[in-house]
């Protein structure tokens, strides 16, 4: 594959799913890994409010057990209502969860800022 085409794929992907290594010799996924890899993300203080889009059918389990990463490596969060809407509506009737920074930090949640479309990851599950 020509390097110009590879650069175009990386730059034009609307969800910014791919990245080229610093040395330019390899490409990797920014998200959706089945293997645990180091994305070189640094914990950062989140904005005052983050959103998590989910299906209404999931709310009872979330209330009982907290937000869980399920088969993913992290819980995905965003500041963008449209992104939360697009993610949550894939699984049924849409419901938004609003996470307040002060409360989340008090319960021991840690956050990573992503340089890709949806924004934030929570490192730990919480049942609060």
Q: Ranked by mean pLDDT, which of 37-41, 71-75, 101-105, 121-125 comes out on top?
A: 101-105
126 pLDDT tier (thresholds 50, 70, 90) = very low
* C-alpha–C-alpha distance, residues 26 and 10, integer Å: 12
CA torsion sign for 97, 100, 105, 106 is negative
CA nearest to 116, candidates 51, 54, 32 = 32
Residue-averaged pLDDT of the chain: 76
Q: Which domains does the chain have, with CATH numbers?
A: 1-33 (no CATH), 49-122 (3.20.170.30)
What is the SS3 assignment for 65? Answer: helix
124 pLDDT tier (thresholds 50, 70, 90) = very low
At 19-68, the pLDDT tens digits run 787 787 777 776 655 666 666 677 788 888 888 888 889 889 988 888 88
* C-alpha–C-alpha distance, residues 18 and 23, integer Å: 15
């Amino acid at each position: 594959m020509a390097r110009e085409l590879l650069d175009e794929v990386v730059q034009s992907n609307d969800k910014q799913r791919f990245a080229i290594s610093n040395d330019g010799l390899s490409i990797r996924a920014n998200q959706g890994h089945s293997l645990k890899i180091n994305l070189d993300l640094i914990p950062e203080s989140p904005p005052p409010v983050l959103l998590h889009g989910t299906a209404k059918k999931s709310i009872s389990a979330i209330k009982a057990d907290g937000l869980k990463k399920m088969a993913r490596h992290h819980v995905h969060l965003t500041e963008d209502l449209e992104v939360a809407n697009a993610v949550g509506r894939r699984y049924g009737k849409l419901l938004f969860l609003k996470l307040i920074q002060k409360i989340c930090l008090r319960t021991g949640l840690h956050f990573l800022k992503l340089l890709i479309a949806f924004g934030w990851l929570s490192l730990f599950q919480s049942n609060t």
